[in-house]
Amino acid sequence: MVIIGLLRASARALRGRHLLEMLVLAGVYLAVARLGLSMSTVGGNVSPVWPPTGVALAALVLRGPLLWPGIYLGAFLATASTGVPLSVALGVATGNTLATVLGALLTRRLRMDADLSRIRDVVVLCVGAGAVCTGVSSLVGPLCLLLGGVLPAEVLGRAVWV
C-alpha cells in the first residue's frame, strides 16, 4: 500500500514543483556515483564506498520520499555508463532506489528528527537506515550483475561483502 501511494504521489509530483528537484538530485547522484565508481574494486561496477546512497538518503529525509524518481534516474544513468546491459542497469537502479526509499521510510517510522539533535536520531540514521540502505543495495546490485552475466559467480561473495 505504501509503495502504491508513493507511486501515485510521485506521478503527480512529476507535473509539479518537484520535477526540478528530481532532476537536480539525479545529476548530483550521477556525479557522486562516478566518484564512487572510480574506486571500483570488482569488475568496474562494485565499489567499497558508495557515496550516492548518502546523498539520496539525505534528499529523501530532508525533502521527502517523492524525490525517488531522481534517485532512480541518477542510479540508472550511473550504472548504464559502465556499459552493462540495459536490464542490469534497470535492476541495479531499482535496487539502489529501493534501498534508499526503505531507509528513508525507516527514519520516518522511527520518528527520526532530521536535525539529528538527539543521539537516538543519529543511531536511527547510522544503524537503522544505514544498515537497510547498504544491506539492500549490496545484495541487489551484485545479484543483478551476476544474473546479467556481468559479474562472474566466483566473485559474487566478494562483491556482496564489498
Domains of the chain: total? 1
pTM score, two decimals?
0.85
Name which of 27, 23, 151 is nearest 92 in CA terms.
151
Alpha helices by DSSP H, listed for 41-129, are 52-63, 68-80, 86-109, 119-123
pLDDT string in tens for the chain (162-residue length): 566 666 676 666 666 678 999 999 999 999 999 998 888 766 667 777 789 999 999 999 999 989 999 999 999 999 999 899 999 999 999 999 999 999 999 898 989 888 888 999 888 888 888 888 888 888 888 888 888 877 777 766 665 555
Exposed/middle/buried for 43, CB within 10 Å: 0-12, 13-18, 19+? middle
Which residues span the domain enclosing 112? 2-161
What sign for the dihedral angle of Cα 25, 26, 31, 37? Answer: positive
